[in-house]
Amino acid sequence: MKTIFQRIIDREIPAKIAHEDERCIAIHDVNPQAPVHVLVIPKSPIARVGAATADDSSTLGHLLLTAAAVAKKLGLAESGFRLVINNGQDGGETVPHLHVHLLGGRPLAWPPG
């Protein structure tokens, strides 16, 4: 069964796309937790960062570099932004398809949640 993210990648579900390349897609979150909340999602499904292997290292690096590029494109580079990856139920994971949350556009408190 496809995750919601795979269905977005396959264009079965519409999404507001902030970036797309051959390896990933970045979409605006439908339930934003900050003025800017974008999800950077690999097109090749990895269930979670804890399930990634050494073979996924190139994809993982690409996700982080893409998140930084999208942050710059959206005007967050100067003021700052946060990247979050949830892993497992206690980590807040709700979709078993690795994705990076890019949050910004306001001061973000620490510690989170």
- Here the CATH number for the domain that contains residue 98 is 3.30.428.10
Instruction: Evaluate whether residue 109 is within a structural domain.
Output: no
Cα R_g (the chain), whole angstroms: 14
- CA torsion 26-31-11-74 (nearest 10°) is -30
41, 77, 97, 109, 111 from 8: Cα distances, Å: 10, 27, 12, 31, 31
Catalytic site residue from 28, 37, 97, 99: 99
Instruction: Evaluate whether residue 110 is within a structural domain.
Output: no
Q: Verify whether residue 99 is a known catalytic residue.
A: yes
Domain that holds residue 41: 4-104
pLDDT digit string (tens) for 56-100? Answer: 999 999 999 999 999 999 999 999 999 999 999 999 999 999 999
Instruction: Evaluate whether residue 113 is within a structural domain.
Output: no
H or E element, residue 103? strand 100-104
Query: How many domains does the structure of the chain reveal?
Result: 1
Query: Which of 84, 71, 77 lies closest to 113, judged by CA?
Result: 84
pLDDT digit string (tens) for 17-63? Answer: 999 999 999 999 999 999 999 999 999 999 999 999 999 999 999 99
The reported pLDDT for the residue numbered 112 is 81
**pTM for the full model?**
0.95
